[in-house]
Every structure is written in structure tokens, then in C-alpha cells.
Amino acid sequence: MDFSWMAWTLPTALFFATMIAFLLGMAVWEYVSPGGAPRIGILRFETTRGDRLFLSLLGSAYIHIAWLGFVNLDLWWATALSLIYAYCVFRLV
């Protein structure tokens, strides 16, 4: 496959590889331990593990897009910020 038309950089490839790894990991986790008791966090609505993963991945994508548009620093900082964001979503939401 020829992906030369895309601007693949190592951080971009790792970002998408990490997203796929998280989705596969969540699928295995759900298979081993189905359900994952829903809980109500700081946003005051009920979420499951899948909901929190979705919020984490969506937020991480927006963090990276905003980083590319507004910040002139290395993309690794956006990845670190995304990991912190995902941790907070899973702990608090």
C-alpha cells in the first residue's frame, strides 16, 4: 500500500497505533470481564468503561488537532497531555 500522500510522522503513527491498541485492549477487557459497572462521575451522568474510552480517544484527537493548529512545540507534548487527559477521564468521569 502506498501511503505517500499522507503526512505520516512517527508521533502521528504512534498516536493511531496507540488508539488501535486501546480499542483492542478494551475489547479483551470487556471479553474477560463483561459489563464494567456503570458509574456517575463529576459530569453527573452515567458512564461505562467504553464511554470513558470514547471520551478519552475523542478528546485526545482534539488535543492533537488543536496542538498542531495553535502550538509550535513538538507533538510529543500533546501526546503526554492526552495521556494525562485520558487518566483524568478514567478516574473522574
Strand partners, 39: 47
Structure confidence at residue 76 (pLDDT)? 86
pLDDT digits (tens, 9 = 90+) for 22-75: 889 989 988 998 877 888 989 898 998 888 989 998 999 899 999 989 998 988
Q: CA-to-CA distance for 15 and 38, rounded, in angstroms?
A: 27
pTM (2 d.p.): 0.76
Mean pLDDT of 5-24: 81
CA nearest neighbour of 51 among 90, 85, 6, 9: 90
Domain boundaries, the chain: 44-93
User: 77 or 11: whose pLDDT is higher?
Assistant: 77
pLDDT digits (tens, 9 = 90+) for 1-11: 666 777 777 77
Structure confidence at residue 3 (pLDDT)? 64
Dig out the grid coordinates for 55 from the structure.
471520551
Between the alpha carbon of residue 37 and those of residues 45, 69, 77, the distances in Å are 13, 38, 33
> What is the DSSP code string of 26-67?
HHHHHHHS-S---EE-TTSSEE-HHHHHHHHHHHHHHHHHHH
